[in-house]
Copies of this chain bind each other. A is one copy, B any other.
């Protein structure tokens, strides 16, 4: 099927990474439109989802749920605080920790956010089972990629 294997490899490579990247950015575009009413960006929306589901959390726990570190979360949370959706309070029993708490306004926003998932799901053009299947594949891929990075780190190269 190929007379120039090196070129084929380069092109195949591009297609995997590029497709994923493109899909991710296309999703970003949809969320940008859908979340405009709420005044949230997509990562901010993810933070709100976690808080709505799990209640108040320290920054560390929030980061574990979202796979994000403080370098990303600190400024993001300040913007959410400036928007009046969240308060940040140092924990009393561990002064290193900062508790992120929903304000009344932040809690109230959940009602308005309930319409978001349907609109996103519609935009994907996929049904529930297809979404589930795709999600499973992507999670497996993420696991494999993370493991590969961990190996490279440990084994040098």
Contacts and interface: CB of A to CB of B under 8 A. Distances in A.
A114 B4 CA distance: 12
A interface, over-half SS = helix
Interface residues of A, number: 65
Contact of A131 (B6, B10, B12, B118): B12
A42 B138 CA distance: 19
B142 A19 contact: yes
A61 interface: no
Contacts of A134: 16, 19, 137, 141
Interface in A139-157: 139-142, 144-149, 152-153, 157
Contact of A14 (B20, B49, B157): B49
A141 B26 contact: yes
Contacts of A9: 114, 117-118, 121
Given A124-B144, A145-B30, A138 B19 contact: yes
Number of copies of this protein chain within its complex: 2
A33 interface: yes
Interface string A119-139: 011111110100110110111
Interface of A: 6-7, 9-27, 29-31, 33-34, 42, 46, 49, 52-53, 66-67, 113-114, 116-118, 120-126, 128, 131-132, 134-135, 137-142, 144-149, 152-153, 157
